[in-house]
Amino acid sequence: MVRWGLLTAALLVSVSVSQPTAQRFSNLTISVIATSDLHGGVLPRRDRGGLALLGGYVRNVRAARAQDGGGVLLVDSGDMFQGTLESNLNEGAAVVAAYNTLGYAAAAIGNHEFDYGPVGPAETPQKGEDPRGALKARAATARFPFLAANTVDDATGQPVVWTNVKPTTLVNLRGVQIGLIGVTTPDTPALTIGANVIGLTFAPLVPVITREATALRARGATVVIVLAHAGGRCTHFDDPENLSSCDQMAEIVQVARQLPPGLVDVIAAGHTHQAMAHDVAGIAIVEAYSTGRSFSRVDLTVNRSTRTLAGKRIFPTQDLCGREDPAMHTCDPAAVRAAALVPARYENRVVRPDTVVAGAIAPAVRKALALKNQPIGVSLETPFGRGDQQGETAIADLVADGTLASAPGADVAVSNGGSLRVDLPAGPLTYGSIYELYPFDNRIVTLSLTGDQLTRIIAFNLERKVPPFELLPIAGFKVDARCDGKMLRVTLTRSSGVPIRSDDRLLVATSDFIAGGGDGIVAPAGALEEIKTVEGAPLLREALVAWLRSRGGRMNENQFVSPEHRRWTYPGSRPVVCQ
């Protein structure tokens, strides 16, 4: 983290002192600022992140470019809305209002843009309702286009064309033609509510990007940028050319390597909630972390006379800090120095939150506040964190327990670790904290599985390699997995200590997302018997809140993940490989 801050500071200094006036240089600088996976994170958390603070950083970059005659292009790579009360209560309208104010040039449609379904509180369409109604309504109010080049309407065989939704757009910035393409992962149908994407196909990325980028070049684009709701993961950012810390099999890395050389200049990635700031096959790939905590940046140098791309500078992912360590330029002080934090600076200017952006989201913030602060009656003695979600956590066990308790007659529960979006801090729980932990409108359902089917689901989760899905939150049983040569042997035991036999019939509580094939979690079970909604059709989140309120009292992580309470035993780490 320290190295990133030092490098960021050095890069910013070099930009600001090397280009004092536009008239003295033949080159023009275009700063591409990219966000992704906001997930409704319009507000700061503990003096970090939020859209008003983003506005302050963007304003400073715009001021720097105004001095040297360059420009700023602000873009987003999808999953803008789903995740907080401030956004969900208005189906993303608050985010669009803020993005309009911030001056976004375009945004890709991500998988979670389909979550809201029709306009109104129902998350899936009733007879005659448009399953994409809420998404279309948001696009229609945006002052920037939503891009969806690989989202194909099955009725026409062509990319969807809805009001203000199109495959690409061409932006003229300081006389430079910039082509923008929006795409989302082809896995989207398994990553949202299936009923909301019926009639759509999500085409493979490389052929679509190649086709659209070629067309944009033919229309005069000097620069082509892909806004991709598909991503990667790197852990070191001190050298954009060094890919040793990056996941070489990541979706967006594979895409970049398969594209024709020189066709695409920049990919603003997303979806994985990780970071990238690297050159892959000549393409600058940047990705910011999720929930509005950071942004990505690439500075493009364009020759003013020839309007050709002369160079790129890839910046490390930039955290949005209200205050920073003055030496390291990071949000947190260096532990050994315990430095006092000071107002953050960027582009040699103090960063001040944008009051106009704050005003744009203020009505949604006020509406959400009363509901958000409602106490639940449970206090956590220790923080409940998600960790890397590759191992068992107290927060996952808690959700699984609430799912099982909310489905009368169920024997066991299987939940979805990927639906858990924030950590729970120590102290009293509020409705807002549970909402942001599990913001999705999934309902609790039950299905009947044999012991053998459940065992196959568990073994698949342990061995699954690509992508590395989270360890399943489970309740009502324990897992003991061991290697027998090259074979993984899985034994399941009920919480009472009674073994689960292969021919046992179990009533399993889960979410409609999982039962409907989401994330491929239950695929190893084969064909499922009838899926039944729990009486009253409770949302999983609301059922969890009700269960916590009835339980009350205090909770500690050790009640779940201490050695005597652990639910999972398996060799090594996931994915498990038996040699």
One-character DSSP codes across 366-399: HHHHHHHT-EEEEEESS-B--TTSSS--HHHHHH
Angle between helices 251-258 and 205-218 (to 10 degrees): 50
The DSSP bridge partners found for residue 362 are none
Whether 540 and 443 have beta carbons less than 8 Å apart is answered as yes
Largest interatomic CA distance in the chain? 80
Whether 376 and 548 have beta carbons less than 8 Å apart is answered as yes
Cα distance between residue 535 and residue 526, in whole Å: 26
Whether 298 and 276 have beta carbons less than 8 Å apart is answered as no
What are the angstrom distances between the C-alpha of 499 and each of 427, 458, 475, 479, 561?
Answer: 37, 15, 15, 10, 21
- The DSSP result for 212-241, as a single string, is HHHHHHHTT-SEEEEEEE----BS--S-TT
Instruction: Give the full edge-to-edge strand order of the sheet including 283-287.
Output: 168-173, 176-184, 223-229, 266-268, 283-287, 276-280
* Phi then psi dihedrals of residue 411, to 5 deg: -85, -40
* Phi then psi dihedrals of residue 37, to 5 deg: 55, 45
What are the angstrom distances between the C-alpha of 72 and each of 62, 288, 298, 535?
Answer: 6, 17, 10, 53
Listed residue (446, 447, 429) closest to 547, CA to CA: 429
- Element of type H or E holding 147: strand 146-147
Cα distance between residue 91 and residue 137, in whole Å: 9
Question: Who contacts 361 (Cβ-Cβ below 8 Å, separation ≥6)?
Answer: 42, 43, 51, 52, 86, 94, 97, 98
3-class DSSP string for 239-274: CCCCCCCCCCCCHHHHHHHHCCCCCCCEEECCCCCC
Instruction: Give the full edge-to-edge strand order of the sheet including 200-202.
Output: 158-159, 151-153, 200-202
Structure tokens at 134: 């809420």
Amino acid at 76: D
Question: Who contacts 577 (Cβ-Cβ below 8 Å, separation ≥6)?
Answer: 463
- Element of type H or E holding 76: strand 71-76
Q: What is the pLDDT along the chain (579 residues), one digit of tens a residue?
A: 333 333 333 333 333 333 444 444 689 999 999 999 999 999 998 889 999 999 999 999 999 999 999 999 999 999 999 999 999 999 999 999 999 999 999 999 999 999 999 999 888 888 889 999 999 999 999 999 999 999 999 999 999 999 999 999 999 999 999 999 999 999 999 999 999 999 999 999 999 999 999 999 999 999 999 999 999 999 999 999 999 999 999 999 999 999 999 999 999 999 999 999 999 999 999 999 999 999 999 999 999 888 899 999 999 999 999 999 888 888 887 655 556 889 999 999 999 999 999 999 999 999 999 999 999 999 999 999 988 778 899 999 999 999 999 999 999 999 999 899 999 999 999 999 999 999 999 999 999 999 999 999 999 999 987 666 789 999 999 999 999 999 999 999 999 999 999 999 999 999 999 999 998 999 999 988 888 988 888 899 999 999 999 999 999 999 998 888 999 999 999 999 998
Beta strand spans in 306-373 (E): 309-319, 323-324, 342-343, 345-346, 349-350
* DSSP code, position 538: -
- The DSSP result for 442-488, as a single string, is -BEEEEEEEHHHHHHHHHHHHH--SS-PPPPPEESEEEEEEEETTEE
Question: pTM, whole model, 2 decimals?
Answer: 0.89
Question: Who contacts 392 (Cβ-Cβ below 8 Å, separation ≥6)?
Answer: 471, 561, 566, 567, 568
What are the angstrom distances between the C-alpha of 295 and each of 76, 191, 252, 378?
Answer: 10, 24, 18, 35
Whether 413 and 454 have beta carbons less than 8 Å apart is answered as no
Residue 467, preceding peptide bond in cis (omega within 30° of 0): yes
Domains of the chain by start residue, with CATH: 2-19+27-120+130-364 (3.60.21.10), 375-569 (3.90.780.10)
Q: Between β-strands 477-484 and 349-350, what pairing exists: parallel, antiparallel or unpaired?
A: unpaired
